[in-house]
A and B are shown apart, each in its own frame.
Chain A
């Protein structure tokens, strides 16, 4: 019984850290493992490990780099397990470099995420509708193509143009804030 308050405190602390770092952890996993479902699994597994080892976490140090080490470790484990099945895997070199640079990019990414909201407001009605169909309704490109009677390739091009437009818009905004894109 006596350990319960301690345990609760630990849970609260852990949840708070996770809430602060969640987006960045998923972002980290997504950049290393292209398929979102795979990346989600990896973060899930990393979380279980994180909680298990939370006693070893030094609260004097930032949580995110510590947590991302577990994500990275899970990526490696996942790679080994899925080597024969998975469709896409980056080379060790790419993964290592992306992982090493991630801490530096993450601050910029937070700024980008803020900028995205502003840039979305600048989209025309049709563009926004397409983005919402693709992302909010989570419709695959092929299904969307069927529905709209367009080819998947032409739809992809339209979608990509919108995304690159958004990318340029947020890049300009974060550049104004002093980040390199």
Chain B
């Protein structure tokens, strides 16, 4: 069995997880990555997607995050999410609402860079929506 390391998932509003885990899959901006113990120190941004946490006991829990960034060290991994909820609590409604607000924001956005970023966010959300609906 792989070594266990500390994993923390925090959103601005609360601390969601702080546990010993053996494996975490995070949706990094440049593609999904699996973090194991003794990972090289890495700082990466994340996009909306599903974080899959394998606890030291072998149990797997999933969380949906909406962007943020991750701070990875050999003996720990901290994920700072803009918003995060357990996947079981996610409903299609909440996603749909987020997609709508983002769309509205694009309409209001000034400046190309801001717009591009929002559009990227929207694409990610829509993709996520597809996954959830299928599941």
Are A and B a genuine interacting pair, yes or no?
A: no
> Which B positions have Cβ atoms within 8 angstroms of A?
none
User: Which A residues lie at the B interface, using CB under 8 A?
Assistant: none
